[in-house]
Amino acid sequence: MPGKEVLPTTIKRSDKHAQAIWAKTHDSAVKTYGEGRRAHMVAFASLKHQYEKSGDRWVKKARRGPSDPQAARGPTTRIKSTDRNRAPTAGGKVARTPAEARTKAKEARREYSRDYARRRRRAS
């Protein structure tokens, strides 16, 4: 299976089921979109319906489903006149409501800023 050759390290550390989901989806996406970023994004989106990232690996979620309101809405869902342009995302974290998504996105931005500052200090 070609997808097994390009498994990201976080998925290599995860269980076999997570690896199989990612590899199968990645292979299908490569046939549709070609090798590259888009195929990886599709594979991760598929994985995020059943798994969530915990540290350096993916662990099974308590319940299956989209990770945040934007993922639940999907790219092909028709936008209603009362909808905002985009539903809030949770910055890669699992959120059930739009309010929770905004809170988690704020946390994710803080974490990123803190990690970025640490990397810059180490580089200097």
Based on the fold, state whether residues 58 and 4 are members of the same structural domain: yes
pLDDT tens-digit series, residues 73-117: 666 666 665 666 655 566 666 777 788 888 888 888 888 788 888
Domain membership of residue 18 as a residue range: 1-65
> What is the rounded distance in angstroms from the CA atom of residue 105 to the CA atom of residue 28?
30
Angle between helix 16-33 and helix 37-47 axes, rounded to 10 deg: 140
> What is the rounded distance in angstroms from the CA atom of residue 66 to the CA atom of residue 48?
7
pTM above 0.75, yes or no: no
Beta strands in the chain (DSSP E): 51-54, 57-60
Domain ends where: 65, 99, 114?
65
109: its two tokens: 């931005």
What CATH code is carried by the domain that includes residue 29? 1.10.1740.70
Instruction: For residue 28, give every residue at least 6 positions away whose Cβ sits within 8 Å of its Cβ, in sequence order, or none.
Output: 42
pLDDT tens-digit series, residues 25-74: 999 999 998 888 888 888 888 888 889 888 888 888 887 777 666 666 66
Q: Say if CB 107 and CB 88 are below 8 A apart.
A: no
Does residue 72 fall inside a structural domain?
no
| Structural domains in the chain (count) | 2
Based on the fold, state whether residues 37 and 96 are members of the same structural domain: no
Based on the fold, state whether residues 10 and 41 are members of the same structural domain: yes
